[in-house]
A and B are shown apart, each in its own frame.
Chain A
Amino acid sequence: MEAFTTHTGKAVPLRRSNVDTDQIIPAVWLKQVSRTGFEKGLFAAWREDPAFVLNDPSYEGASILVSGPDFGTGSSREHAVWALQQYGFRVVIAARFGDIFRNNSTKMGLLPVVLPAEKVEALQAAVEADPTLAVTVDLAERQVRWAGEVVAFEIDDYTRWRLMEGLDDIGLTLRHADEVTAYENGRQPWLPTTV
């Protein structure tokens, strides 16, 4: 996973709530067995509408998605995160995220930032007024900054550390393999196996 410390880029406002993962990447795109090529499926249905915000050339190259509340609800498909990243997004900002989506993002190094709804709204308005606006998402300082605005966000220390170091969870867990074995030795004897 690519480490994330601070990122400055253009943002794009997505003025919709309940952006479920079926919208982020429709099911037909989930048949691939590889991890690449999902950018083409990002918001596939919505992108057919020429008026959809991602089709607006003024937002070309944006790397920060600023969405309405409840972004990434629904299906657990991590393909949603892959599609966003492969399209070029490094950060998604919203007032609330679906739990599984948020987890998947932090495993992959896509930073989900929760800001209060009125700050999300203010950022959307600022970007609409000036699509070239530089927005900085600073994980080290836990801040989002744009045009003189400084807004703090919360993220737990552990996830922040993991993202900043770009650490792989599996490697971290395997350091504790002895503890896993010790736990396994004490499991209840009636628990089922699949064999």
Chain B
Amino acid sequence: MGRTLAEKVWEQHVVRRADGEPDLLYIDLHLIHEVTSPQAFDGLRLAGRPVRRPELTIATEDHNVPTVLGPISDPVSKTQVETLRKNAAEFGIRLHPMGDAGQGVVHIIGPQFGLTQPGMTIVCGDSHTSTHGAFGGIAFGIGTSEVEHVLATQTLPAYRPKTMAIEVSGELPPGVTAKDLILAIIAKIGTGGGQGYIIEYRGEAVRKLSMEGRMTVCNMSIEAGARAGMIAPDETTFAYLKDRPHAPRGEAWDQAVAYWTSLRTDDDAVFDQVVEIDATTLTPYVTWGTNPGQGLPLGETVPAPESFADPVARQSAERALEYMGLTAGTPLREIEVDTVFVGSCTNGRLEDLRAAAEILRGRQVKTRTLIVPGSMLVKLQAEQEGLDEVFKAAGAEWREAGCSMCLGMNPDTLQPGERSASTSNRNFEGRQGKGGRTHLVSPQVAAATAVTGRLTAPADL
């Protein structure tokens, strides 16, 4: 019987397999940031263990960093960033600190450097590591104990997850983006729907996505409960990788491409589960609740909790409406927002900024609007294209790179009761600041919303 893409990549990385034990999996690339690593390095020091492969490890500062120029004002954040610098120096790990041209959100810089390649295993102490699966590898988030384990051994013990195919047939209609697709998928399968699975996104609409769109889709696999999401590599992947700083060159490139081309699910392979989505019926999506599965097409109204048959879903909707300050039956398009955030590892890449700029060009924003590039390189490229001028002319704030309002660990937060339209990935209670209310949207909807002050699709302008 044939094998799925996930099975092929997994098998390639099994160091040791024994009855009744998890597989010991080799890790090709370990990404590190300041928040989930300090206690892991402490553990190494305590046990007197070195980092096994510092040259398969890379660190960046992203979660805590301010997005306005200047030093970190919060002393606790500052200590955390300084701790990463000390640890990186002590253990010989390459670090991109604040202000460095290579700095950025951990999941943006890996692909940008060409370090994220097809068929690799990639981990990071961050759940959105699933982003890297867009290149056809297995990439997943781990906790701090596992970070320490990978630092010490370059391996992880793990059971192979089941496989799920999400087949997206047809083409996305104009104005419907990768973000809308993944929000629709999560709304369909639920926040626990992918639990225990590696998802492979397949089908015409997925093939037609750019690498950046594919990263947006894989990024939010965790929001469907799946630790990893992946897309088979193809010409789009190879074209993205060619000539990136860490991509193979010359003969090595040809060898790599030959192998990467074999990384696809065999025709006779069987998935443990298959979900089908018709791309042609999709429209821009927004979330109305406090988990990413609570989303609907923008043309709908806030749902009534009684409309949910499942008692747990009903109770969750009731609580969500209360927290979000929403009334059932209100058209989503009438919801007014205070803040618009464009950025994060979900939608903080160049294409996202271009899409937002196209809508804001020659218009004025009505709300506080933060545009935060995902990395310093994205920032530089955007400025070379003059996007920063478009944003500033529209009245939006153009910031330095970082996670920013995606999780509000730096000063970019919502105040209690404030409402945002955000291109990030989590609408949890308090995620963007205590008492803040988040609606997840695409960059296009975010920009259009900034113009009207209400949840709006570009086509409505």
* Among A33, A103, A117, A191, residue most surrounded by chain B Cβ atoms (within 10 Å): A33
Give Cα A172–Cα B77 distance, bound, in whole angstroms. 34
List 11 extra interface pairs beyond A103-B143, A158-B20, CB under 8 A: A22-B407, A30-B36, A31-B35, A35-B39, A45-B430, A78-B39, A100-B140, A104-B143, A169-B157, A187-B28, A192-B117
Q: Is A27 touching B144 in the complex (CB atoms < 8 A)?
A: no
Nearest-CB residue, chain A, relative to B39: A35
A195 close to chain B: CB less than 8 A:
yes
B330 close to chain A: CB less than 8 A:
no
A116 surroundings in chain B (CB, below 8 A) = none
Tell me the minimal C-beta distance from B181 to chain A in angstroms: 21
A169 surroundings in chain B (CB, below 8 A) = 145, 149, 157
Q: Is B142 touching A103 in the complex (CB atoms < 8 A)?
A: yes
Give Cα A28–Cα B411 distance, bound, in whole angstroms. 11
Give Cα A15–Cα B316 distance, bound, in whole angstroms. 10
B97 surroundings in chain A (CB, below 8 A) = none
A22 in contact with B428 given A73-B192, A190-B256 (CB within 8 Å): yes
A128 close to chain B: CB less than 8 A:
no
Give Cα A33–Cα B20 distance, bound, in whole angstroms. 36
Q: Is B408 touching A27 in the complex (CB atoms < 8 A)?
A: yes
B141 close to chain A: CB less than 8 A:
yes
* Among B38, B63, B146, B148, residue most surrounded by chain A Cβ atoms (within 10 Å): B146
5 A-B pairs, CB-CB below 8 angstroms? A22-B430, A31-B74, A76-B36, A180-B153, A190-B253
A70 in contact with B191 given A22-B426, A22-B428 (CB within 8 Å): yes
Q: Which of B53-61, B381-389, B451-459 contacts A (4 or more CB under 8 A)?
A: B53-61
Tell me the minimal C-beta distance from B172 to chain A in angstroms: 27
Nearest-CB residue, chain B, relative to A193: B55
Nearest-CB residue, chain B, relative to A177: B153
A33 in contact with B225 given A26-B430, A78-B143, A192-B114 (CB within 8 Å): no
A100 in contact with B142 given A23-B429, A70-B192, A180-B154 (CB within 8 Å): yes
Tell me the minimal C-beta distance from B251 to chain A in angstroms: 9
Tell me the minimal C-beta distance from A13 to chain B in angstroms: 14
0/1 string, B110-122, CB within 8 A of A gives 1: 0000110100100
B153 surroundings in chain A (CB, below 8 A) = 170, 173-174, 177, 180
Give Cα A16–Cα B313 distance, bound, in whole angstroms. 10
0/1 string, A160-194, CB within 8 A of B gives 1: 00000000011011101101100110011111111
Give Cα A78–Cα B40 distance, bound, in whole angstroms. 11
A145 close to chain B: CB less than 8 A:
no
B444 close to chain A: CB less than 8 A:
no
A157 close to chain B: CB less than 8 A:
yes
How many inter-chain contacts with C-beta < 8 Å in the A-B complex?
200
B45 close to chain A: CB less than 8 A:
no
A75 surroundings in chain B (CB, below 8 A) = 126-127, 407, 426
Give Cα A187–Cα B248 distance, bound, in whole angstroms. 14
Nearest-CB residue, chain B, relative to A171: B47
B57 surroundings in chain A (CB, below 8 A) = 194
B227 surroundings in chain A (CB, below 8 A) = 99-100
B434 close to chain A: CB less than 8 A:
yes
A77 close to chain B: CB less than 8 A:
yes
Give Cα A158–Cα B223 distance, bound, in whole angstroms. 28
A31 surroundings in chain B (CB, below 8 A) = 35, 64, 74, 76-77, 79-80, 409
A61 close to chain B: CB less than 8 A:
no
Q: Is B117 touching A76 in the complex (CB atoms < 8 A)?
A: no
Q: Is B428 touching A23 in the complex (CB atoms < 8 A)?
A: yes
Nearest-CB residue, chain A, relative to B403: A27
Q: Is A33 touching B38 in the complex (CB atoms < 8 A)?
A: yes
Q: Is B407 touching A100 in the complex (CB atoms < 8 A)?
A: no
Q: Is B36 touching A77 in the complex (CB atoms < 8 A)?
A: yes
A180 surroundings in chain B (CB, below 8 A) = 15, 24, 26, 52, 153-155
Give Cα A74–Cα B35 distance, bound, in whole angstroms. 15
Contact partner, B195, options A26, A98, A173, A191, Cβ 8 Å: A98
